[in-house]
Amino acid sequence: GTSTSLSPSPRLTVTKTADTSGFSSPVTAGDTITYTITAENTGNVVLDNVNITDAQTPTGGSASSLTPTYSSGDTDSDSAIDVGETWTWTVSYNLTQADIDAGGLSNLATVTVDDPNDTAITVESSASGNATTGVGNGTGTSTSLSPSPRLTVTKTADNTSINPASAGDTISYTITVKNTGNVTFTSLSLTDALTSDEAWSASDGGDVDGTGALNVGETWTFTASYAITSSDITSGSVENVAYATGVPASGSNLTVYSGAQGVASTSTSDPSGGGGVVTTL
């Protein structure tokens, strides 16, 4: 008779996709990313003893483990990935502020199975589907988390009119700087030309956790005072404009100028010439 050799060819293709359709605009801590992992038996032998692990890594950071949940695929409920079967797992993850500050995430799943000879086969995922066995052959599914640095600067004066005015009269200013974007400012400086001798410091108020970073949603408060001069009185008014410069964890530095009295400004243009806080004398 004729002898035919049937060569076993174990093969597994592992694919990972990321669903970010629920992200806010801009992306915000707490937004959910949902990963779907599929493992398809594209070989000619049954693969059993199925295990899956999942590693989530922020850009430039250290990996942490997520736990995927089996969804479907084991059509005959024999706990083996039969030839032609595709198993599916899902895992959801809520973004942290650190993830957004890092600028992105990479997620890599690893599926380990046994072939009929009880030889372990390890396949890592890729976004397009990876079938090459061994550690280091997969590619993490990457998600960019775009920074949207935003500062809101508000300046008020205790007096917008002094009448009569005398040289040496004092105007007290309060300036608040709020992080209204989605990324941490690792440092913040405030500059005020009119009160240039003021030692601006975050210790003036608002750095609630004492990190020296302006966190998302955090407001820092600064105070300053200015003694009017005789030349100010001759001019008939004093105008004050301050600007805050923040260094975001990712993205470019941002400078925002204060506007008119009590106006929450996000302007990157200097409003000097009547658009600042004006005190008439």
DSSP structure string for 30-77: T-EEEEEEEEEE-SSS-BEEEEEEEEEEETTS--EEE--EEEE--TT-
What secondary structure letter does DSSP report for 204? Answer: G
Q: What is the mean pLDDT of residues 129-147?
A: 97
pLDDT tens-place string over residues 148-188: 999 999 999 999 999 999 999 999 999 999 999 999 999 99
- Tell me the per-residue pLDDT of 26-62, one tens digit each, with 9 for 90 and over: 999 999 999 999 999 999 999 999 999 999 999 999 9
101's enclosing H/E stretch is helix 97-102
How confident is the model at residue 209, as a pLDDT?
A: 87
Task: Name the residue with tokens 């599926």.
Answer: 111
How much is the pLDDT for 192? 87
- The residues facing 279 across adjacent strands are 238
The mean per-residue pLDDT over the stretch 214-223 comes to 92
Q: What percent of the chain has pLDDT over 90?
A: 86
pTM of the model: 0.88
How much is the pLDDT for 251? 87
Summarised one tens digit per residue, pLDDT across range 118-128 is 999 999 999 99
The structure tokens listed for 153 are 């600067």
Closest by CA to 12, choosing from 73, 57, 65, 69, is 73
For 248, the token pair is 């975001």
